[in-house]
Amino acid sequence: MAHQMSVRGKHLSWATVLVLAVLVAAAATGSALTAPGHLSSAPTVPTTAVPTSTSCSPTPGLASITLSDMSPTPTITVRVGGELVVTVPGWHWGDATDVNVGNPGVLSEQCSVLLPDHGRRAVLLAVSLGESHLSATVTPASDVMMPAWSGEVVVTANS
């Protein structure tokens, strides 16, 4: 018989408890898995900070980036005042979370919508000079594997 822990009358395996402890510790420290073997120390905006919009249609011709789970991390440069379309790929279970902006002083989410393939599209506004890490994953979490997508944005001056 596998070792189990009881929480409110529910029996959890120690493996499940360990995964939950790691996720809680990562959330508490503001860390997010960004690529195999890499952790980001950038703070993240909680996924509930910006309500998800029912419509998020970007203007054609905007800069865009698709977050990836591969290295090197995709990077894009935009100018202050510019908008950026961020795509989070769909996954075979669950829905893509909101895009976490590592430096909310540099980028501000304008809208976010869940796509039919369970991916996500968000439009961000570049509000000041700097760099910001972007990340997203899937909800609900899995005991087996969690995808972790990321990207980098560099915001430059207008002229």
Q: What is the structure's pLDDT at 92?
A: 82
Mean pLDDT in consecutive groups of 10 residues from the start of the chain, 159 residues: 45 50 46 37 35 66 93 95 94 90 95 94 96 93 82 91
CA 54 remoteness from chain centre: 19
pLDDT in tens, 124-141: 999 999 999 999 999 888
The answer to whether the predicted template modeling score (pTM) of the entire model surpasses 0.85 is no
Domain boundary assignment for the chain: 1-30, 34-156
Q: What is the CATH number of domain 34-156?
A: 2.60.40.2020
Q: What is the structure's pLDDT at 125?
A: 96
